[in-house]
Structure 1
């Protein structure tokens, strides 16, 4: 089948067939129906004795593609480099320029680490290969500027019409905190806050963004419901802690998004456990199993269980991120795993295509 692509300088037939077979049969948590069902294999290049496999992928998943390459090396002793070309679809149609998909990060109550989680997920999606933005919807208590290390920064406008987002480590951000002092925003009434948020979303000159994460204000009152209805949200993620009171409020958050027909991709259980730095023992300070029970009751999934770790809090207070400070660390890897799950499940919920197979094209580059 592939003989027309071969020459003495090219890959041998056994290598090509091994790569193709592995590609056609590879499955994982991120690719439960197989990588071939959602990713198009463009070609296989041999450049300076390096095999590069080019895939067109519909969601951010760099770490999973690296895992694919690692397993191919382990099982077939074939070393490859994956060139994952992200080509996303717009899950929900809207008129906001520059943005493909909007994901709401919400919680039923404050104090569960929602904003910290939102910032780290933004950096995690970026690490997975996506262009990302974050919008601070907490008009009354904006915290994103501080967490990004841009406390006190003010927006500008090139054309006098649209605001330029604040750029931090290639992450595009917008918040009411970049426009007015925090104490001024806290006295606004609901309608004024809603209008302000609409301006932040629609009057920002967003660059080309694959995922815009919206850090929703805590709670499930009128302001939260109004924002959920106003924004063309593709899906939502709920952040909670294992405490009963937090779980009860998280359930209200799920119900709110169900009411406005926004799919909930899953629940992140934050502060799930404390890992002793001396013996490695897990201590469940706020209870255990609550997130799993919540997901079972509302037919959604537990996206991940993040530890109660002082470094996460310290990085947030210092305007830093665990993803940037220790990208190879366990916490960073946990955030990336959650981020790739979110991206994959967002795609899968709206993907109506049938699994297809791709023909491998072999190219020789001198």
Structure 2
């Protein structure tokens, strides 16, 4: 034990100034917001939530990155299908990029084999995480998500003391024991003076695809009680979805289909002061078109600070295979809104980091405004009429 330790953990109070602990990121890194994703115990899907948050913000046009701080149980590279070893030079270490451009740094990207165990003591593990912050050249990043190891041990302590974390998201699951475990995570954040963005409950329910009935596999949720007790928000309740699990196993988490994290994405956008983005709405006579690829044209809305600042209408340049995704991507479009779209086209747009909202109807500008308010959700509407011929948008 250090001779300077007074063995009084209450020293870490709300009034404690931690600025002296902060480590500076690499001089070539420009990171705007840092969000930690934590859990009181393992097995609740923390890494899944981290991955989905990064993908969700990336689809909205933000440059996102993931620092995998779970040194002994890294799973981020596998979820994204990122393989190989990270490289560096005399300036520092470079993160590896996912298919849609998300930067990732993980201990698994430094090992000879991703199945090699990391048998290190706590201080070495904690220092490695710190070096992922100080020695990695992250370049320009709007949101850096840190996938923390479970619990309240050395690594979370090091992260909170060394990295200027803007806020944390606590991931939990629907069991009574979770109340005590979440309380520990909340109290640690309060002791370290780290803002809590809110709670996300994973494995909240299973929805039958045949009857749409929801089943509480792990019992009734207690997240509302926990949130009220600690005066924090419930950000999302994620279902048990075999498709999402399969996407992780196959390294295709970037292509998950679901809007469960829209509320937290909207919050992060507001906290970031908004961002310039482009929304393309497939249209017919000013209304949302039913078929994306065969629409009359597109309304392109320029957005700043979550408000539409300008718009223009362009004719549909044609729907020959592969053309529209490249055409709209080259225009800088971040979001596409349509009545329906072929499943193959949706996959192509997602691969380019473009969010697709289907099932929309009504006035084109109203649809764009409803999306910005967070009221427009995708219904996964597919143009079955053209699906077999790959004509609807790709």
TM bracket, shorter-chain basis: 0.5 to 0.7
Query: What is the aligned counterpart of 1:154 among 85, 89, 92?
Result: 85
Q: Distance in 2 between matches of 1:253 and 1:179?
A: 29
User: Where do residues 86-105 of structure 1 align in structure 2 (5 Å cutoff)?
Assistant: 95-96=24-25, 97-105=29-37
Q: CA deviation at 1:252?
A: 1.0
Q: Distance in 2 between matches of 1:295 and 1:346?
A: 24
Q: Distance in 1 between matches of 2:220 and 2:182?
A: 16
2:95 is matched with 165
8 Å contact kept, 1:265–1:342: no
Deviations 1:230-260 (A, max 9, x none): 2210100000011122332122111111110
Deviations 1:78-118 (A, max 9, x none): xxxxxxxxxxxxxxx97422211110001001100010110
Question: Against the structure 1 CA distance between its residues 110 and 336, is the aligned structure 2 distance closer, same or farther, given a 3 Å change threshold?
Answer: same
Q: Distance in 2 between matches of 1:200 and 1:228?
A: 14
8 Å contact kept, 1:140–1:182: no
Tell me if 1:341 matches 2:271. Answer: no
Deviations 1:330-352 (A, max 9, x none): x2x2223332234435769xxxx
Q: CA deviation at 1:364?
A: 11
Tell me if 1:106 matches 2:38. Answer: yes
Larger helix share, 1 or 2:
1
Q: Distance in 2 between matches of 1:249 and 1:324?
A: 32
Q: CA deviation at 1:220?
A: 1.3
Query: What is the aligned counterpart of 1:202 among 115, 134, 137?
Result: 134
Q: Distance in 1 between matches of 2:310 and 2:107?
A: 51
Question: Against the structure 1 CA distance between its residues 274 and 192, is the aligned structure 2 distance closer, same or farther, given a 3 Å change threshold?
Answer: same
Q: Distance in 2 between matches of 1:211 and 1:154?
A: 23
Q: Distance in 2 between matches of 1:99 and 1:287?
A: 40
2:66 is matched with 134
Q: Distance in 2 between matches of 1:218 and 1:347?
A: 31
Deviations 1:295-338 (A, max 9, x none): 101110000111111111111111112x5243xxxx2x222333
2:328 is matched with none
Question: Against the structure 1 CA distance between its residues 182 and 251, is the aligned structure 2 distance closer, same or farther, given a 3 Å change threshold?
Answer: farther
1:7 is matched with none
Question: Against the structure 1 CA distance between its residues 343 and 240, is the aligned structure 2 distance closer, same or farther, given a 3 Å change threshold?
Answer: farther
Q: Distance in 1 between matches of 2:67 and 2:165?
A: 12
2:49 is matched with 117
Q: CA deviation at 1:183?
A: 5.9
2:147 is matched with 215
Name the TM-score, length of structure 1 as normaliser.
Answer: 0.65
How well do the aligned residues superpose, as a CA RMSD in angstroms?
2.5
Query: What is the aligned counterpart of 1:229 among 154, 157, 161?
Result: 161
2:105 is matched with 174
* Misfit runs of 4+, over 4 Å: 181-185, 345-348, 360-365
8 Å contact kept, 1:162–1:204: yes
Deviations 1:137-164 (A, max 9, x none): 001111111111014x20112x323111
8 Å contact kept, 1:122–1:133: yes
Q: Distance in 2 between matches of 1:265 and 1:145?
A: 25
| Structure 1 portions without partners, runs of 5+ | 1-92, 349-359
SS at match of 1:117: helix
Question: Against the structure 1 CA distance between its residues 361 and 139, is the aligned structure 2 distance closer, same or farther, given a 3 Å change threshold?
Answer: closer
Instruction: Flag the structure with more relative contact order, 1 or 2, with Cα contacts below 8 A and sequence separation at least 6.
Output: 1
8 Å contact kept, 1:265–1:345: no
The number of equivalent residue pairs is 254
Name the TM-score, length of structure 2 as normaliser.
Answer: 0.60
Q: CA deviation at 1:211?
A: 0.5
2:375 is matched with none
Deviations 1:162-200 (A, max 9, x none): 111101111011011111245655310011111111111
Query: What is the aligned counterpart of 1:305 among 221, 233, 237?
Result: 237
Tell me if 1:285 matches 2:220. Answer: no
